Amino acid sequence: LYGNTTDVRAADRYGVRISLAPDWSPSGAKSSLHELKVADQWNQQVMGGHFSDYDLVSMVTRNPSFANNWDEYVGRLLPNMVADIVVLDTFHEDPYRNMIEAIDADVRLTMVGGMPLFGDEFIMKALKGDDWESIEGSGFSKAVDVTFPSAFNGHQRWSEISSNMAITMSGDTTAMKEHWTDGQS
């Protein structure tokens, strides 16, 4: 943390299954794709390539499923498992290197539990009709659907959630009080 990290080589030598995920913005990355790039850079520059590309990708896919005892449901593409899938543009023959080097714009589709949640607009339109919102990235646009009617507040759309986050992040307590009343979120 802040220029150093856990001795993951020792953990690996002792057979510890290592997982990798973003933790918080001040010192970490904002997504697993970004975190993979940081880990890859540390692996190459500081640890002499101790971990293979397969090892690094496993740290954001299958290893967390084992750590949470969810390995019967997620973390691998096998029959009867939950369909949590990311589809990326291909620019490397090695799929693990491809994932490590992928950026947000390269994500063609993300599915969680078999439901399309994020991806290229034409793919989301084919899978969900008009039930998605367009969002802008840095030089690209994608489609997102965060609604899930059976969940608490599952009716909220991304535009509403991001607006609420902007108000909260502003730190303006007057705006927060004006925007929310008891029982609203």
CA dihedral 79, 82, 88, 94 (to 10 degrees): -50
Global pTM value: 0.80
- Residue 182 scores a pLDDT above 70: no
Residues listed for the chain: 185
DSSP secondary-structure letter at 44? H
- pLDDT single digits (tens) 127-152: 999 999 999 988 899 999 988 888 88
- pLDDT single digits (tens) 106-126: 999 999 888 999 999 999 999
- Residue 24 scores a pLDDT above 80: no
Beta strands in the chain (DSSP E): 85-88, 107-112, 115-119, 133-136, 141-144
Give the residue-averaged pLDDT of 59-86.
89
Give the residue-averaged pLDDT of 30-35.
87
